[in-house]
Chain A
Amino acid sequence: MRTGLWSGVAGVLLFGLVSANAAVFEKTLSNGLKVIVKEDHRAPVLVQQIWYRAGSMDERTGTTGVAHVLEHMMFKGTKAVPMGEFSKRIAAAGGRENAFTSYDYTAYFQQLHKSKLPLAMQLESDRMSNLNLKAEEFGKEIKVVMEERRMRTDDEPHALMYEKLMAAAYQEHPYQHPIIGWMNDLEAMTATDAQEWYKTWYTPNNAVLVVAGDVQAKEVFKLAEKNYGKIKARPLPVRKNFTEQPQVGIKRITIKAPAELPHLVMSYHTPTLRDAAKDSLPYALEVLAGILDGNESARLNKALVREQQIASDIGAGYDSTARGPSMFTIEGTPSEGKTVADLEMAIRQQLMKIIQDGVSAEELQRIKAQVTANEVYKLDSVFYQAMQIGQMESIGLGHQAIPIMLKKLQEVTGQQVQDAAREIFKDENLTIATLDPQPLSGKSKKAGVTAHAR
Chain B
Amino acid sequence: MRANILFILSCLFFANNALATPKIQHWQAPSGAQVYFVEDHDLPMLDVAVTFRAGNSFDDEAKFGVAMMAGGMLDAGVEGLSEDEIGLKLADIGAQKGGQFDADRAGMSIRTLSNKTERDVALSILAKILQQPLFPEAVLMREKVRMIAALKEAETKPESIAAKAFGKAVFGEHPYGRTLEVADVEKIQRADLVSFYQRNYGAKAAVVALMGDITRAEAEMIAQQLTANLPASSASRLAKLVKMHIDASEQRISHPATQSHILIGAPGIARNDPDYFPLYVGNYILGGGGFVSRLMSEIREKRGMAYSVYSYFMPMQQPGAFQLGLQTKKEQASEALKVTRATLREFVEKGVTEKELKAAKDNLIGGFSLRIDSNKKILDYLSVIGFYNLPLTYLDDFSGKIDKVTVVQISDAFKRRVHPDAMATIVVGAPEAKAGQ
Contact = CB atoms under 8 A, between A and B. Distances in A.
Q: Tell whether A pairs with B.
A: yes
Interface stretch (B26-34, B217-225, B373-381, B404-412): B373-381
Interface string A302-342: 10011001001100000000000000000001011000000
B385 interface: no
Nearest to A15: B41
B179 A450 contact: yes
Interface residues of B, number: 100
A226 B163 CA distance: 50
Interface stretch (A52-60, A120-128, A138-146, A184-192): A138-146
24 contacts: A18-B44, A44-B369, A87-B290, A91-B359, A92-B363, A96-B367, A113-B370, A140-B304, A144-B307, A146-B329, A147-B259, A148-B307, A150-B258, A259-B156, A306-B84, A336-B145, A370-B94, A373-B112, A446-B155, A448-B151, A450-B150, A454-B55, A454-B176, A454-B316
Contact of B158 (A155, A297, A371, A381): A155
Nearest to A311: B146
Contact of A147 (B93, B183, B328, B365): B328
Contacts of B395: none
A443 interface: yes
A93 B359 CA distance: 9
A381 B377 CA distance: 10
Contacts of B145: 309, 312, 335-336
A45 B367 CA distance: 9
A94 to B, nearest CB: 2
A379 interface: yes
Interface stretch (B199-207, B249-257, B343-351): B249-257
A93 B301 contact: no
A151 B327 contact: yes
B362 A336 contact: no
Interface string A422-453: 00000000000000010011111011111111
Given A258-B156, A312-B150, 13 more contacts: A91-B362, A147-B305, A147-B329, A148-B307, A295-B87, A297-B88, A377-B96, A382-B374, A440-B255, A442-B254, A444-B436, A449-B154, A453-B179
Contacts of A446: 155, 436
Nearest to A18: B44
A335 B154 contact: no
A448 B111 CA distance: 34
Given A140-B302, A452-B163, A260 B88 contact: no
A327 B86 CA distance: 31
Nearest to B181: A448
A92 B163 contact: no
B31 to A, nearest CB: 28
Nearest to B67: A453
A44 B363 contact: no
Contact of B367 (A95, A145, A155): A95
B258 A93 contact: no
A298 B113 CA distance: 21
Contacts of B383: none
B277 interface: no
Contacts of B142: 305-306, 309
B179 A448 contact: yes
Interface in A321-367: 333, 335-336, 362, 365-366
Nearest to B161: A449
Nearest to A72: B307
Nearest to A294: B91
Interface string B303-318: 1111110000010100
Contact of B151 (A18, A379, A381, A449): A449
Contacts of A75: 291
Given A335-B145, A377-B45, A448-B151, A369 B94 contact: yes
A102 to B, nearest CB: 18
B366 A449 contact: no
Contacts of B256: 258, 440-442
A384 to B, nearest CB: 10
Interface string A72-107: 000100000000100110011111110000000000
B107 interface: no
Contact of B289 (A91, A150, A259, A294): A91
A154 interface: yes
A172 interface: no
B362 A93 contact: yes
A37 to B, nearest CB: 17
A144 B306 contact: yes
**What 6 pairs between A and B have smallest CB-CB spacing?**
A94-B366, A373-B94, A444-B436, A297-B87, A448-B181, A143-B304
A75 to B, nearest CB: 7
Given A91-B363, A147-B307, A260 B155 contact: yes
Contact of A376 (B45, B306, B368): B45
A144 B304 contact: yes
Contacts of B190: none
B374 A93 contact: no
B126 to A, nearest CB: 15
Contacts, number: 263
Given A140-B303, A451-B154, A113 B258 contact: no
Given A258-B256, A295-B88, A449-B179, A312 B146 contact: yes
A87 B373 CA distance: 22
B90 interface: yes
A151 B160 contact: no
B259 A150 contact: yes
B103 interface: yes
Contacts of A222: none
Contacts of A451: 154, 159-160, 163
A150 B329 contact: yes
A144 to B, nearest CB: 5
Interface in B1-44: 20, 41-44
Interface string A129-162: 0000000000111111111101100110000000
Contact of A366 (B56, B86, B91, B362): B91
B329 to A, nearest CB: 6
B188 interface: no
B92 A369 contact: yes
Contact of A454 (B297, B320, B364, B369): B320
B44 A453 contact: no
B164 interface: yes
Interface string B86-112: 111011111110000111100000011
B92 A366 contact: yes
B175 to A, nearest CB: 9
Interface in B143-183: 145-146, 148-156, 158-161, 163-164, 167, 176, 179-183
A154 B258 contact: yes
Interface string A219-259: 00000000000000000000000000000000000000011
A282 B184 CA distance: 46
B160 A450 contact: yes
A32 B181 CA distance: 59
Nearest to B105: A454
Interface string B372-403: 11111000000000000000000000000000
Contacts of B156: 258-260, 437, 440, 443
Contacts of B192: none
Nearest to B159: A451
Contact of B91 (A15, A96, A295, A442): A295
Given A147-B305, A366-B91, A449-B164, A45 B370 contact: yes
A151 B308 contact: yes
A454 B306 contact: no
A372 interface: yes
A442 B364 CA distance: 46
A278 interface: no
Contacts of B363: 91-95
Contacts of B183: 447-448
B301 A92 contact: no
B292 interface: yes
